[in-house]
Amino acid sequence: MATKKNILIIGASQGIGNGFVKELINDNNIEHIFATYRTGKNAQNLLSLKVLNPEKLTIIQADVTLENDIQEVTNIIKSQIDKLHLVINCVGVLHEENLQPEKSLKHLNADNLLRYFQVNTIPTALFAKHLQPLFKHPELSIFATISAKVGSIEDNKIGGWYGYRASKAALNMLIKNIAIEYSRVSKNTAVIALHPGTTNTQLSAPFQKNVPPEKLFSVNLCIQQLLSVINNITIQDNGKFFSWDGSDLPW
């Protein structure tokens, strides 16, 4: 019988991260799910899932811009298990109070640019650093981050969204680097970036006006599509950037 899997979903309070937990909690091939959230205020769905699944789900509060919180997440996981099979970092920011994607150079400021990198880029590298020992096992495993097609340098035809695009492009470079280093020490881990497609969450809500209905995915559809990509990943896919339909995206 195949080994049951241990999973970590980072940023599971709402949106795509919450969708993964909701779906995977019913998967009998999964032994345990760890899920992080930033504040209880937004995490009512996750807290309810914990009440319904006290044995299978561990929820951990973490602001992923703080390395101490990332270390603490790792410590909690290590106190319960010794191997991970799937990690998906779903944390991201496009807009928040005092932060809007910049349409033009005149909207740039250093604090906002830094904020994009602080949330969208750096945490993935720090999770890769701290979680690496949990990937040193012979079973196939996946370390994935939700990136965005707008982070593709080659695909950028219309500009704008300076901070968000640049933070995702830098995230993509980190994924490539992590893939190379992991391949030397945890040989059965595929490190990948995923583009979910435009998905109906609070992140995309202010920007959905010009999106045709068939190109705006529900969270549920997004999760089905991304899981079908993830379920087809092999070790040969290490270091790749996949779109929601399984096609390769240019870096």
Ligand X SMILES: NC(=O)c1ccc[n+]([C@@H]2O[C@H](COP(=O)([O-])OP(=O)(O)OC[C@H]3O[C@@H](n4cnc5c(N)ncnc54)[C@H](OP(=O)(O)O)[C@@H]3O)[C@@H](O)[C@H]2O)c1
Helix 15-24 to helix 219-231 angle (10° resolution) is 60
CB nearer to ligand X: give 146 or 178. 146
Smallest distance from ligand X to CB 146, Å: 4
**Using the rule CB under 6 A, which residue among 112, 132, 204, 225 binds ligand X?**
204
198 binds ligand X (CB under 6 A): yes
220 binds ligand X (CB under 6 A): no
The interface mask with ligand X, positions 106-135, x = CB under 6 A, is -------------x----------------
Contact region with ligand X (CB under 6 A), list: 60-68, 77-85, 129-137, 224-232: 60-68
13 binds ligand X (CB under 6 A): yes
User: In the complex, which residues of this chain contact ligand X (CB under 6 A)?
Assistant: 11, 13-17, 38-39, 42, 63-65, 90-93, 119, 146, 148, 196, 198-199, 201-204
